[in-house]
Every structure is written in C-alpha cells, then in structure tokens.
C-alpha cells in the first residue's frame, strides 16, 4: 500500500442523454496511451464514439484530472509535463540537473478541447521555470504537480469555471522543496484566475473535490504535517477565497512530516441540507486498517457537528481495508459505503500483504446501521468517486476487467 495518493487510470462523466464519457489509460508493455470514449449507457458499456486527444497533451506525464462542460461538449484535462528547462539524455529520457530531477514533470498544464480533438486552449498553471536552482524560493518555484499526491478537477456550471486541485512542490527559505496543495480555477476558455490557495495542508498526500448544491467547493485533504489530519475544506468559488477547514479526523500514526499515516482518504458525499458524509480508513487503535463513517451536519453554515461516527469494519491481521473507499447518498435516509479488502499483515498462504481480496458494497442508514451488503470481485479504483446518473436514479462507478474491458457498474437507488 502506498503512503501517498495514487492516480486513477480511469475516470468518467455521466451525460444528461444517458451516455457515459470514460477517460482511461492503457498501461500495456508499450508507453501509456490515454483514451477518451463515449459509451452507450450505464447498462451498455459498448463504445459509441471516440474523442481524439489533442497532440499538445503530454501523455508521458501524470494524469491530474478530467471534466466536461456538457453544454458545449468541451473537455478539460490536466496533466504534468517536463518543463522547458528539462535536459534529456541520448535516449530522450529526462535526467537530473544540479542533482535534481524536478524539471522532469515540472510543469502543470490544463488543455480544453472539443470532440474533434482540436485544442481550444493550453493553459500553463505553473512550473515552467528552472526548478533545480537553489537559493531561490517562494511562489515562483512552484512545480511538480501530482508529486506524492493526486490531482482532481471539476467544471462548475454556475460560474463557468473549472476547479483544479493538486499536490505540488515549492522551495522555501530552508532551500528545501516542500510539498502541499494548490487550489485554483480557470474559466472555460482557459483564463487563469488568482489561486484560492497556493499552499494548503502540507504534506497533502491525497485530494478529493466536490461541487455541492450550495455552490461552495468542498475539498478533502490528507495532511501529514501542518496539520496532521484528514480535513474538509469549504471554498467560495465566486470570491476565490477559503472559508474554513474542519479537521474531522486527527491522524495518530507516525509523526509530523514522517510520510507515514497508515490512513486512506476515502471520499465525500452530500446528503442534503448542509449534511455531508465522509468515509475513510485508518489503523489508529485498531488491529488492522478499518473503515470509518462520519455524518457531519452544519457544513454549509460552518456550524459543523459530527452526528454519526462509527467503525464499519473490524478486521484482524488477516485483512485490511484500503485504496478505493467510497461513500454516496442513496435517497433521503440511506448511505452507500464501499471499500476494497486486502491481505493483512498475516496473509493467507501463497499471498502477500496488500494483495487484493474482494470489494464490499454496503447500504447503511444515517446512524451507521447496516441495512444490506454484497461482495464483488472487482477492485474499486482510488481517487475515482461514485457519481449519480443524470436522472439521479443510479450510483455509478467504472472499473476494468482482468482482460482490460471497461465495466460500468450501477446501483438503482430510485426506490430508497
């Protein structure tokens, strides 16, 4: 299990006409290939259209999120790329300069494009400077997006802006490039706004974002140092400002800046009327890594109260929960929570710690009482959240089979 956030090679967007756009990376023996395809429906994963990616997108970099403005069929894709100061060897590989490889994947880009595959804009967020020069510190030294973290983005229809949230590194006065998160926006034609935060929650290993019905931006942060906690942040997309941060779980494992938390971020779901649910996993005071559910009220008004706080699993050293913990609203009175189980510190014969075992999809009431559950043999992906279909009747997620076929999963919540 990685200590840090992990990128997700598959993400998706449910369209209002019932089709589903899926971004997926083909990580075969050759170089990674990025793909964007439209699929017939949530019950029919056959490809109905292929969207060509613009040639300006650097597919050898880190994938840092994708979203869509459906009214104009405009896609937005964020990624890292070697900056202009990167040096390559005779084989074309990026190599160290001044004892540092920070110019490799140093620049943060977002590209907007249409279904014909032509780029509408290519906007540099930061990082196109020589990041290896010592003695220079501050805002101008930002770079390495997605370093020891993930990247997510989402289009906000009310303001016509794309929200971008990703880890990065920056040199400070101690001449060390420390890590935290950058959060900002661009408009739908690629104009970069003033960042809402250029340095938030350090170290910040894992990021989630939710654009809620109250028109605030909500973020999850997995902090290892300042602060050392799981955090829920509220941001004003109109004022481009930070409203508050709730540290809903203080991490006990490890020490400040140790890069070890033994905790998984999970996801966030809006339940309605300022009430949100978070699900995550940790080994704190447990025999193994277990799933925990919290229901938090007063989130919109910053009068937060954790109404429900329950452990959903009680694994021993044979199993642990990690990577891919999800939560979703399921009607007015229920919550869906899902997680992967892995071999624990004492694995079964012929297996190793961290080997995948199975996936649980469970239905709970708002107090955390189990209503029903099922087990799947299909691993949930980290970072990718559960999403609702355009009609609100289904919860959706996407995986890949062992023979690399895309699978669209859905749960009918219309009767709940």
Give pLDDT tens digits along the chain (416 positions): 566 677 778 999 999 999 999 999 986 655 568 999 999 999 999 999 999 999 999 888 999 999 999 999 999 999 999 999 999 999 889 999 889 999 999 999 999 999 999 999 999 999 999 999 999 999 999 999 998 898 999 999 999 999 999 999 999 999 999 999 999 999 999 999 999 999 999 999 899 999 999 999 999 999 999 999 999 999 999 999 999 999 999 998 888 888 889 999 999 999 999 999 999 999 998 999 999 999 999 999 999 999 999 999 999 999 999 888 999 999 999 999 999 999 999 999 999 999 999 999 999 999 999 999 999 999 999 889 999 999 999 999 999 877 678 999 999 999 88
Report the number of distinct structural domains present in the chain: 1
DSSP strand pairing (216-226 vs 87-88): unpaired
C-beta atoms surrounding 274 within 10 Å: 18
**What one-character DSSP code corresponds to residue 72?**
G
What is the domain range of residue 141? 52-88+102-252
pLDDT at 30: 57
Map residue 102 onto helix, strand or coil: coil
In sequence order, the 6+-apart residues with CB closer than 8 A to the CB of 411 are 330, 336, 361, 394, 395
* 301 belongs to a structural domain: no
- Strand-pair partners of 230: 222, 249
* 3 belongs to a structural domain: no
* 7 belongs to a structural domain: no
**CATH number of the domain to which 115 belongs:** 2.120.10.10
* 356 belongs to a structural domain: no
Q: Which two tokens stand for residue 205?
A: 């290993």
For 106-139, b/e burial (b = at least 16 CB within 10 A) is: bbbbbbbbeeeeeebbebebbbbbbbbeeeebee
In sequence order, the 6+-apart residues with CB closer than 8 A to the CB of 53 are 34, 35, 36, 59, 77, 113, 117
* 361 belongs to a structural domain: no
Torsion sign, CA atoms 82, 87, 93, 96: negative
* 235 belongs to a structural domain: yes
Report the alpha-carbon distance of residue 36 to residue 12 in Å, rounded: 9
**What DSSP string describes 350-399?**
T--TT-EEEEEEEEEETT--EEEEEEESSPPPSSPPPEE-TTSSEEEEEE
**In which residue are the tokens 């996801």 written?**
267
pLDDT at 84: 96
The tally of CA atoms less than 13 A away on the side-chain side of residue 399 is 15
**Run of H or E residues at 243:** strand 241-250
Map residue 43 onto helix, strand or coil: coil
* 203 belongs to a structural domain: yes
C-alpha gyration radius of the chain: 21
* 22 belongs to a structural domain: no
pLDDT at 8: 78
pLDDT at 302: 98
Map residue 70 onto helix, strand or coil: helix
């Amino acid at each position: 299990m990685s200590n840090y956030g992990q990128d997700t090679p598959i993400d998706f967007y449910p369209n209002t006409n019932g089709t589903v756009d899926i971004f997926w990376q083909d990580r075969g023996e050759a170089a990674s290939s990025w793909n964007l395809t439209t699929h017939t429906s949530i019950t029919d994963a056959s490809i109905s259209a292929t969207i060509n990616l613009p040639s300006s997108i650097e597919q050898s970099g880190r994938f840092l999120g994708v979203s869509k403005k459906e009214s104009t069929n405009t896609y937005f894709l964020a990624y890292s790329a070697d900056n202009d100061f990167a040096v390559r060897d005779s084989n074309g590989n990026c190599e160290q300069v001044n004892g540092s490889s920070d110019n490799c994947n140093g620049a943060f880009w977002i590209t907007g494009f249409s279904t014909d595959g032509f780029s509408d804009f290519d906007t540099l967020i930061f990082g196109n400077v020589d990041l290896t020069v010592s003695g220079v510190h501050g805002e101008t030294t930002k770079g390495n997006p997605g370093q020891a973290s993930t990247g997510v983005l989402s289009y906000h229809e009310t303001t016509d802006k794309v929200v971008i949230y990703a880890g990065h590194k920056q040199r400070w006065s101690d001449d060390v490039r420390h890590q935290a998160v950058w959060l900002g926006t661009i408009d739908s034609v690629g104009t970069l706004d003033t960042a809402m935060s250029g340095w938030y929650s350090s170290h910040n290993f894992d990021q989630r974002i939710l654009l809620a019905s109250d028109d605030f931006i909500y973020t999850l942060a997995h902090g290892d140092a300042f602060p050392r906690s799981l955090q829920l942040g509220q941001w004003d997309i109109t004022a481009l400002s930070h409203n508050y941060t709730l540290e809903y779980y203080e991490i006990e494992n490890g020490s400040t800046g140790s890069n070890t938390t033994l905790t998984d971020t999970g996801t966030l779901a809006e339940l309605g009327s300022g009430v949100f649910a978070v699900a995550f996993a940790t080994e704190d005071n447990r025999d193994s890594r277990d799933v925990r559910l919290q229901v938090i009220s007063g989130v919109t008004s910053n009068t937060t109260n954790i109404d429900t706080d329950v452990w959903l699993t009680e694994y021993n050293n044979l199993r642990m929960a990690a990577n891919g913990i999800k939560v979703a609203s399921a009607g007015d009175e229920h919550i869906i929570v899902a997680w992967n189980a892995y071999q624990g510190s004492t694995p079964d014969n012929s297996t190793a710690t961290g080997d995948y075992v199975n996936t649980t999809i469970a239905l709970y009431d708002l107090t955390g009482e189990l209503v029903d559950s099922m087990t799947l043999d299909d691993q949930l992906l980290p970072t990718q959240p559960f999403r609702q279909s355009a009609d609100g009747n289904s919860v959706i997620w996407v995986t890949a089979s062992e023979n690399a076929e895309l699978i669209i999963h859905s749960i009918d919540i219309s009767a709940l």
